[in-house]
Amino acid sequence: MIDQIRKPYSFLKNYINQGHSRSVNAKKNILLSLVVKGLTIGVSFLVVPLTLYYLDTTNYGIWLTLTSFVSWLSFFDIGLGNGLRNRFAEALSKGDTILARRYVSTTYAILGIIILAVFIVFIFVNPYINWIFVFNAPPELAKDLTTVVLFVFTFFCLQFLLNLIGVILTADQKTGFKDLLGLIASVLSLIVVYLLSKTTQSSLLLYGITFSGSTALVYLIVSIVLFNSSYKMYAPRWKFVSFTFARDLLNLGVQFFIIQIVGIVMFSTDNIIISHLFGPAEVGAYNIAFKYFGMCTMAFSILCAPFWSAYTEAYAKGDFDWIHKINHNLKISWVFLVLASVILLIISPYFYSFWIGEKLTIPFVLSLSMFVYVVTINWGAIFVTFINGVGKIRLQLYISIIAGVLNIPLSILFAKTFNLGPAGIILATTLCLSYGPILAPIQYKRIISNTAKGIWNK
């Protein structure tokens, strides 16, 4: 019995430890991320029915719309996170600890100043915003909504700054450990929702405060622990802050920032559009289908994520053979994920019934649209990961701006005029994200063959 257990374990161990050190590190992180993300998905699936039990479908839809709205705070990152990710990875490849620490300290300082300014402004304007109109919510929630938004916004500000520890872990090619933070936060959120359902009456206010606060707490504790132990040499300190490094961070970061804005607009406005066109209850159905098919997107992101910073290092060292090999392997993995997505589509009606019962109805056309989205986005991710890693994102930037302008009118056109409902919204989003599956493969080939010129090489 022991030998039977040892054989597959030995095979897995040998497979992981074979190849370039960069590949070995990536495989370790992928394995850890698969386990962690699998558990995270399981936890998030438990949270949904528990939340629906504690809140009703309308309040659940309002909560999803609220979190989408608050996520717009990411606008104020101005690309610093992704700028830090690439610059920190480059500093590590050179073995320059001081440079890496300067990048970390400067990023924390700039982002902290921005977040503080945004928070102060929000404190003054919050009482004057008609949140009932914004979320298309019942009038009786007027008082609670103002308070909920304030607390959720506050905790999101804290989490937004504290999330930089995840950026550092990712840049250091430790995506598995970064994903572990998400699992810890998810488990804590599950515990919080369970305790609320057992000890209190349904309250959007109480739910919002405890749910968002628990996530911020996890990142605060982890940041303190890591910066006083294994990452002590990179811990942010004011004496290492150098605003002359801001330009270096922002030169690349601002381009990522604009692309990030487009992504936030496309995904966060989906919930708002659905809420206004079809009512808050439909937001829940849309997000449940998105979460269900998102398992494949999450699985593929696990495969791609370790290679962003690895591509940065490999491209800087001219290791194109390794890049070719990884790209080929990711294409093979994509084929398997397509097959998995087909299975998810076939069993979706039965899974929804088992998962959430009769509380919400998810039309098959919505599931089919999510399937198209997942397959398309995953293909594009193979090439976008490389392009992001080498920082040649000018073409992606311009296409993203066009996509951001077209997304909302296309979503309304598909959903309302073509009478596709919420399914039309995700189809419009898929169309707007066509850079990844169509143009990114062309750009990848030109860069890797050293034939990229002009905008293809910027």
The C-alpha atoms of residue 303 and residue 49 are separated, in whole angstroms, by: 29
pLDDT-based confidence at 71, cuts 50/70/90?
low
pLDDT at 9: 44
For residue 437, the SS3 value is helix
In a domain, 13, yes or no: no
Burial class (CB in 10 A: 0-12, 13-18, 19+), 57: middle
Count Cα neighbours of 442 within 13 Å in the Cβ-side half-sphere.
10
In a domain, 15, yes or no: no
Q: Is the pLDDT of residue 11 over 60?
A: no
Give the pair of three-digit tokens for residue 287.
């997000």
pLDDT at 90: 77
Provide CB contacts within 8 A for 292, sequence distance 6+. 344, 348, 351, 352, 355, 367, 370
In a domain, 1, yes or no: no
Q: Is the pLDDT of residue 56 over 80?
A: no
Average pLDDT over residues 309-331: 86
Mean pLDDT is lowest, of 9-13, 253-257, 264-268, 404-408, for 9-13
- Domain, as residue range, for 301: 20-457
Spatial CA neighbour of 311 closest among 332, 330, 338, 335 = 330
Angle subtended at Cα 100 by Cα 99 and Cα 104, rounded to the nearest 5 degrees: 115
To 10 degrees, the CA torsion angle through 235, 239, 244, 245? -10
pLDDT at 338: 94
State which of 138-152, 176-190, 303-317, 423-437 shows the largest mean pLDDT.
Answer: 423-437
In a domain, 14, yes or no: no
In a domain, 323, yes or no: yes
Cα–Cα distance list, 244 to 110, 353, 371 (Å):
11, 56, 46
What is the tally of structural domains in the chain? Answer: 1
The C-alpha atoms of residue 168 and residue 346 are separated, in whole angstroms, by: 39
In a domain, 319, yes or no: yes
In a domain, 4, yes or no: no
Give, as one character, the DSSP assignment of residue 433: T
In a domain, 352, yes or no: yes
pLDDT-based confidence at 384, cuts 50/70/90?
very high
